[in-house]
Amino acid sequence: MNQPVPIPALELRSLSKTFYLPRRGSFLPRTTAHHAVTDVNLILPQNAILGLVGESGSGKTTTGMMALRLVQPTSGQIHVDGTDITHLDHVALKPLRRKMQVVFQDSYSALDPMMTLSQIVAEPLHIHAQGTPAEQIESALAMMERTGLHRSYGSRYPHELSGGQRQRVAIARALILRPSVLVADEPTSALDVSVKAQIINLLLDLQAEMGLSILFISHDLSVVRSLTDTVAVMWGGRIVEQAATETIFADARHPYTRGLLDAIPVLNPRDRRQRQFLTREQIQSQIPRICGPKTGQLVQVAPGHLVEAVQP
Amino acid sequence: MPLVDIENLTVSFPQHEGVVQAVRGMTLRLNPGESLGIVGESGSGKSVTCMAVMRLLRQPPARISADKLELGGIDMLRASPRQLAATRGRVAAMVFQDPMTAFDPVFTIGHQITETIRAHRDLSKSQAWSEAAALLTRVEIKLPGQVLVSYPHQLSGGMLQRAMIAMALSCRPQILFADEPTTALDVTIQAQILALIKDLQAEFGMGLIMVTHDLGVVAETVDRVVVMYGGRVMEEGPVQEIFDTPAHPYTKALMGSIPGRLPGKQRLVEIPGASPNPADPPTGCPFHPRCTVADARCGTDAPAFAAITANRAAACWRLQ
Amino acid sequence: MIRYILGRLISVALTFTVVSVIVFLMMHAVPGGPFDGNDMPVNDAVKAKLNASLGLDRPLHIQYFKYMWGVLHFDFGIPFQSPGETVLQLLARAWPPSLILGGSGVLIGAPLGILLGIAAALRRNTWVDYLASAFATLGLTVPVFVISMMLIMVFAVWLGWLPASGWDRPYSWILPIAAYAAIPMATYARYTRSAMLDVLNKPFVTVLRAKGISERRIIFQHVLRNAALPMITVFLPMFIGTATGSIFVEAMFRVPGLGAYFVSSINLRDYPLEMALILMITFMFCIAYLISDIVYALVNPRIRVGGRQ
């Protein structure tokens, strides 16, 4: 008997984004095309955490924004809980927005400085008209407690909190509508070491408790290691490798992934070593030569382990 | 003679909410050729310490006091403005965290590097220019001539950071302060910049003080470590020993909370609570509200910074 | 850049046209005509004939096009209040005093204001700062005719050093120039102070100190250069605004400048002069802003030189 394939919480199919930037110095308005994201395929299963890793300019943030339709893709499709949301208009999209939420890196600018914390966390309920105002505030306070803030904080303002506390508020606000998908764009990058650990633990706990799926975007592989089930590595707008997290750490095949792992600072001084830093061309030349349908395609080298390959 | 000699440094800033005590009684010594890492989270006072010893804090509003504050033998507390300007850049130089805002946007990189050179060394304009080009090559910039005539907004963060390092080294300082030099950079660039700083430190024979919140940076780069918290030094010692056998409860907790140390998706050991409010620090040991082994004394008396072994010291009642 | 300038010139032409239409309509919307005053009352038949002789009986849009056609040929008509000369001749006669006095006022006041602002910024929160800021505030809040009056009282009446009015000798220009200088000086003092404080708080200034650059060089080479950028854009429009004359200063000092005509032309329904004055100012402001923007783009490396390489 066939097991029905579970519908992924988020699926990106052949997602691409091209920005047209004005070109300087010419008489007629000319633009250069900048391919920020090219042909990204990602599946975020239900109840799982997927890490999207890359350095600045890799396209990871743009991909995350497209997944939420905060940036309109140039081509490709986005499916949330099985529904194709790529071309829905605002009216049709609004109720679906409850299923997808976001947490950003800068918690300070993500919170309206003129609103109290309880108002901030209750705002999504207000926007989607859920419950009476009193119920909304009560839900907000309860959610704040779930994220580790005492409910007496409800009447405080964002500027009174530390970075870690603000990030908790942002997470509470994102989760109050019980979304299926949470896109977290570098939520721990601006935090101190000890606070990073708190937020990572918080995300792990809430994910397990609420059964939500998280697309965790980060440049910090160490954080990704402690948090995610699978990792997709992006470089130059494309996914170059994708596998279970420990597989990536133990057996990365793509030279860019290897370079990224190699660059992580050691955790003990005795592990200090000389490093080889490859240039872009060197990385390109070392991409595994594997038979595949076409150059630049993702090829499966082991179950669940995909690597971008070129024709030999 | 120590390159950097700080004894009992206290820095405070009066503000609306109260007096912010950024550094409270900090003592530190750096010897020639040594590299020291100052590790701490935001609010620990690590950056303020370096800014204070270089006298880069506006006084007022900052209030600085110390029994000793010397750079390369020069008394930085009593030096005249002229002496201070002569010391900065030549005796001690500093590399800052955000390279994008560290340069004057209306002048070229070349202008800003040669400006430093000609402020301290007796070179003509063209001599200074070639010196700047040589320095840029030394920090692994491919087309130095082009970078020299570029404006800051035309270059990437990694390139600007290399240029800032070149600028700091241009007058052969004895001491290099690096304040979170790689925090704003990608991880591969970070690794390159750290390797570069290490090489240059050895080549130029400088003393290095690396300020960071990232224990990995410290594990990569320095010989000795000072751990700061709440404006005070918690622990000090050789880097390998600190990592293998951290003595102070804060250092131990910090080591345990580093993500990615152990393979696999898992909860980390977290330090409960939040960093102390610098305007209203806890009485006694600054870490005691979050410490798992704190006792009554920890909350009332600030522990003295005392030696544990021949080359390790810590400020903790439970260790004495 | 060429494309930018061409685009701006087109928008200048557009602005000019729109303003001319609006002003023309507003001018004629004010009830009454040039011959409705009470000093020389005329009966209706005579009034109608007089109006017709000036073309005021034609439909509005005809009047408008006739006038604008003339403008394109640099013919601004004949001022009703001074029919012995053309508008252009009147402007040529009345503008130089305003230009000389107002222009000098800005050219003297602005640098003084900049010095005041620098002093205030460098000695922030000391008596120097408070004094300079108070001075600047007074310059902006005290009406210019009060300033003029005070200057006359002190220097002409009490001390007797300078004449209270007149236009004949350069000697008599000193006080009106001083009155004209008040607003530019105050404006520049405030702008300079805040622009400098802005720059002084920037990270690169700390880096400059860390490099051991002398404080003097930091201020005069780096801080001023950066602070100057926003101030450049203010200068030309301010110059135009002042150099077209102030009715108050010219009235107090009996200077035969352009200032008085701005108001009299409205009161007397002197349509040709009114239109000419407003069109002249509009045009000059548009060009002033255009030049300011171009200069700013040239001086700011972030705009002048491209982006990342």
**Residues B209-229, mean pLDDT to the nearest whole number:** 93
Residues in chain A closer than 8 A to C307 (CB atoms): 24
* Contact between C306 and B154 using a beta-carbon 8 Å cutoff: yes
For residues B204 and B92, what is the distance between their CA atoms, to the nearest angstrom?
Answer: 13
Residue B105: both structure tokens together: 């946007």
What are the pLDDT digits (tens) for A146-181? 999 998 999 999 998 888 899 999 999 999 999 999
Q: Which long-range contacts (CB under 8 A, 24 or more apart) does A130-133 make?
A: A130/A177
pTM: 0.85
**Residues C259-287, mean pLDDT to the nearest whole number:** 89
Rounded to a whole number, what is the largest CA-CA distance in chain A? 67
Q: Is C3 on the interface with A (CB under 8 A)?
A: yes
For residues C56 and C48, what is the distance between their CA atoms, to the nearest angstrom?
Answer: 9
Measured at the alpha carbon of residue A144, what is the angle toward residues A142 and A149, in degrees to the nearest 5? 120
Nearest residue in A to C303, CA atom: A24
pLDDT given at position A13: 93
Partner residue facing B274 (CB), from A162, A205, A264: A162
User: With left for phi above 0 and alpha for psi between -120 and 50, is residue C79 left, alpha or beta?
Assistant: beta
- Distance, first Cα to last Cα, chain A: 41
Strand, coil or helix: what is A78?
A: strand
- The total of other beta-carbon atoms located within 10 Å of residue B148's CB is 20
pLDDT given at position A116: 94
- Please report the residues numbered 194 through 253 in chain A whose beta carbons come closer than 8 angstroms to any beta carbon of chain B: 194-198, 200-201, 204-205, 219-229, 245-246, 249-250
Query: At residue B43, does pLDDT exceed 90?
Result: no
- Please report the residues numbered 202 through 221 in chain C whose beta carbons come closer than 8 angstroms to any beta carbon of chain B: 202-204, 206-215, 217
What are the pLDDT digits (tens) for B299-314? 888 888 888 888 899 9
* Contact between B240 and A270 using a beta-carbon 8 Å cutoff: yes
Q: Is C309 on the interface with B (CB under 8 A)?
A: yes
The ipTM, to two decimals, is 0.90
Measured at the alpha carbon of residue A232, what is the angle toward residues A227 and A236, in degrees to the nearest 5? 130
- Please report the residues numbered 32 through 61 in chain A whose beta carbons come closer than 8 angstroms to any beta carbon of chain B: 49, 55-56
Q: What is the DSSP string of chain C?
A: -HHHHHHHHHHHHHHHHHHHHHHHHHHHHSS--TT--SSS---HHHHHHHHHHTTTTS-HHHHHHHHHHHHHTT-----TT-TTS-HHHHHHHHHHHHHHHHHHHHHHHHHHHHHHHHHHHHTTTSHHHHHHHHHHHHHHHS-HHHHHHHHIIIIIIIS--S-SS-SSSGGGGHHHHHHHHHHHHHHHHHHHHHHHHHHHTSHHHHHHHHTT--HHHIIIIIIHHHHHHHHHHHHHHHHHHHHT--HHHHHHHT--SSHHHHHHHHHTT-HHHHHHHHHHHHHHHHHHHHHHHHHHHHH-HHHHS-S--
* Contact between C306 and A27 using a beta-carbon 8 Å cutoff: no
pLDDT given at position A1: 55
Residues in chain A closer than 8 A to B190 (CB atoms): 263, 265
Residues in chain A closer than 8 A to C2 (CB atoms): 27
Name the pLDDT band for C309 (thresholds 50, 70, 90).
very low
- List the alpha helices (DSSP H) in A228-264: 245-251, 255-263
- The total of other beta-carbon atoms located within 10 Å of residue A149's CB is 21
* Contact between B215 and A267 using a beta-carbon 8 Å cutoff: yes
> When comparing pLDDT for C304 and B41, which is higher?
B41
Nearest residue in A to C308, CA atom: A24
Query: At residue C131, does pLDDT exceed 80?
Result: yes
Cis ω for the linkage preceding C34 (within 30 of 0): no
Contacts of residue C263, Cβ cutoff 8 Å, sequence gap at least 6:
C247
Average pLDDT of every residue of chain C: 87
Partner residue facing C2 (CB), from A24, A27, A29: A27
Number of H helices, E strands in chain A: 11, 12
Over pLDDT 90: what percentage of chain C? 31
Residue B131: both structure tokens together: 């010196």
* Contact between A24 and C3 using a beta-carbon 8 Å cutoff: no
* Contact between A197 and B213 using a beta-carbon 8 Å cutoff: no
**Residues A106-131, mean pLDDT to the nearest whole number:** 93
- The total of other beta-carbon atoms located within 10 Å of residue B126's CB is 9
- How deeply is A71 buried, as exposed, middle or buried, from its count of CB atoms within 10 A (0-12, 13-18, 19+)? middle
pLDDT given at position C56: 82
pLDDT given at position A27: 58
What are the pLDDT digits (tens) for C201-224? 999 999 999 999 999 999 999 999
What are the pLDDT digits (tens) for B174-202? 999 999 999 888 888 899 999 999 999 99
What are the pLDDT digits (tens) for B49-58? 999 999 999 8
pLDDT given at position C300: 83
pLDDT given at position A28: 65
- Tell me how many residue pairs between chain A and chain C have CB atoms under 8 A apart: 7
Partner residue facing C212 (CB), from B88, B151, B156: B88
Residues in chain C closer than 8 A to A27 (CB atoms): 2-3
Residues in chain C closer than 8 A to A24 (CB atoms): 306-307
Number of residues that make up chain A = 312
Residue C210: both structure tokens together: 């860390």
Nearest residue in C to B116, CA atom: C211
> When comparing pLDDT for B120 and C170, which is higher?
B120
What are the pLDDT digits (tens) for B110-167? 999 999 999 999 899 999 999 999 999 999 999 999 999 999 999 998 999 999 999 9
Subunits with 3+ C-beta pairs closer than 8 A to C: A, B
CA B272 to chain centre: 26
For residues A143 and A117, what is the distance between their CA atoms, to the nearest angstrom?
Answer: 11
Partner residue facing C226 (CB), from B87, B89, B104: B104
What are the pLDDT digits (tens) for C19-28? 999 999 998 8
Name the pLDDT band for B250 (thresholds 50, 70, 90).
very high
Residues in chain B closer than 8 A to A271 (CB atoms): 219
